[in-house]
Chain A
Amino acid sequence: MTTLAYTVSDSRTMLRRNLKHQLRYPSMTLMLIGIPIVLLLVFVYVFGGQLGAGLGAHEGRSAYLDYVVPGLLLITVASAVQGTSIMVAMDMTGGIIDRFRTMAIARASVLTGHVLGSLIQTLAAIAVLIGVAFGLGFRSAAGPLAWLAAIGILALFAFALIWLAVALGLAAKSVETASNTPMILFLLLFVSSGFVSTATMPTGLRQFAEYQPLTPIADTVRGLLGGAATGDHAVAAIAWSIGIAVLAYLWAVRLYNRRRAAEPQ
């Protein structure tokens, strides 16, 4: 086999291991998928009536459901990558990583397995959330192509955040730290157009909300699902995602290699 064939084969092995982990650790998998669903219910049925009235629509709650689904899709991504950080930190703090490092396997495969496994998990969680949203009465004007584009934007963003989560998991000294750091993503989401229009925020906060990455991504997905034009938002969304992915990838690889070289134990 060539080097590339080995890399592909080792990455597939590691992916299989990662997917098995998700099945063997169902409490975490279910929690990561469940939190966004609970939040969806809370936002629609608890806050939805009043927040929907602010949209000026006739049917407040169902209008808000249509508005908030993109925000919750981003919550789903953020929730899923929390699992990535935990899984990576569990691997790095356990003994098995040293075993992998004394074997002649493609070096990238450990991280690749985590990234691909998490991407699959995230897409599954997104599918579940969309299903629940439809069950609650979510309606979309989008055609198949727009749906595909929306999923594509979400997948690209998930890919970027997963690499970020891998880096955070590698940087974390313990599994506990790794499970907490991605929480910052939740906060960022609340200060974006994910749940309410940025126009309703005070000036300073609004400026922050408009220029942080989650707003163009939420707006793009909302535009695509609502059948509206996305234009500049989509460009910004893709640029942010690629930027985060590249930086996080470089950071993660650096942490992974450095840990290998310097760890004194």
Chain B
Amino acid sequence: MKGVMTSQTTAPGIVACDVRKSFGDHLALDKVSLTAEEGTILALLGPNGAGKTTMVRILSTLIPADSGSVRIAGHDVVTDPDAVRAVIGVTGQFSAVDNLLTGAENLRLMADLRHLGREAGRRRVTELLEQFDLSDAADRLLSVYSGGMRRRLDLAMTLVGQPQVIFLDEPTTGLDPRSRLTMWQIIRELASAGVTILLTTQYLDEADQLADRIAVLDQGRIVAEGTPAELKSRVPGGHVRLQFADPGLLHSASELLPAAAPDQDQLALQVPADGTVDSLRDLLNELHEARISVEQFTIHTPDLDDVFFAVTGSHVTGQADEDSTPQGARQR
């Protein structure tokens, strides 16, 4: 993958090979390799402290890797960082906006630093304000901006120079559901316009919704990589949990549904289910006809923890055991 790029159009947007990085005696990234083809979205999925932010900082020239190689749009981050910086845009986890300026002035600052020229700069600023629904707030100071507006402005600032490759570090963390959907829409539009995007996320559904490929990062290592469909096929999938009033009912239910896993202590039954209404209706009808009454009924859809369990055999470290990962050292 490190080979010479034959032409600009076939050069993958992001190629990282065997990237290693430690902070002191803590190994933050252990031989991480990633590839994102031009115009595609690659999601880096992992819990807090997995090394996502460190990877983004290396890919975006902020910090050097200890070993390994990174090429962005064909340029090497070590030997030609300015060529990389000219084609990338980065929106970090923490807002990189100037709080003492207005929204329009922030964008204008970016236009000036991208050397767009007076006219082109002004046009681009107006365009982005409209695209990101910030026209009304353009001349207001950022102190009155909501969290969602700041995040939109942050991304708009990243896009001023029309970058070919964009890094989004947890772009929707802390956003309300509506702002999150807006952000997803923007990301999709960027990718369909040919921009290569690497985004990090803790949410499987976000990666599933947006990404062409997902790489799962756990404690500095890539533990799984593939399309969302490939990854999900490795996850046991969703199930329905049925809770019964007494052991007798649990027993008859588990005879009725041999595929299900009974839990004698909890008086519960886990029935594999794909979550469609038809399959649920069939299940409930079956129980009803057998006159088995169910106390409680819960639907469980696969999440990040299921993916982790499926690919690593253990649950998400950051959630299962807070002390085992010194998160503060790696990610603010």
- Give the B-binding residues of A (Cβ under 8 A): 1, 6, 9-10, 13, 16-17, 20-21, 24-25, 94-96, 98-105, 260-265
Contact = CB atoms under 8 A, between A and B. Distances in A.
A102 to B, nearest CB: 4
Contact of B100 (A10, A25, A103, A264): A25
Contacts of B89: 102
Contact of B88 (A98, A102, A260): A102
Nearest to B143: A24
Given A21-B101, A99-B158, 18 more contacts: A1-B115, A13-B112, A20-B101, A24-B100, A95-B92, A96-B96, A98-B62, A102-B60, A102-B62, A102-B89, A102-B90, A103-B113, A103-B161, A104-B82, A104-B86, A260-B62, A262-B63, A264-B63
Contacts of A96: 96-98
A50 to B, nearest CB: 44
A102 B98 contact: no
B223 to A, nearest CB: 23
Nearest to A95: B96
Interface of B: 23, 53, 57, 60-64, 82-83, 85-86, 88-90, 92, 94-101, 105, 109-110, 112-115, 141, 157-158, 161, 329-332
Given A101-B62, A102-B60, A264 B99 contact: no
Contacts of A263: 62-63
Contacts of A262: 63
A72 to B, nearest CB: 29
B103 to A, nearest CB: 13
A98 B90 contact: yes
Contact of A95 (B95, B101, B110): B95
A105 B81 CA distance: 11
A225 B23 CA distance: 57
Given A21-B100, A94-B99, A99-B96, A13 B61 contact: no
Contacts of A10: 113
User: Most chain-A Cβ atoms within 10 A of its Cβ — which of B83, B95, B99, B332?
Assistant: B99
29 contacts: A9-B112, A9-B115, A16-B112, A20-B105, A21-B100, A21-B101, A24-B101, A95-B94, A95-B96, A98-B92, A98-B96, A99-B90, A99-B92, A99-B96, A100-B113, A102-B60, A102-B61, A102-B89, A102-B90, A103-B110, A103-B113, A103-B114, A104-B83, A105-B113, A261-B63, A263-B63, A264-B330, A265-B330, A265-B332
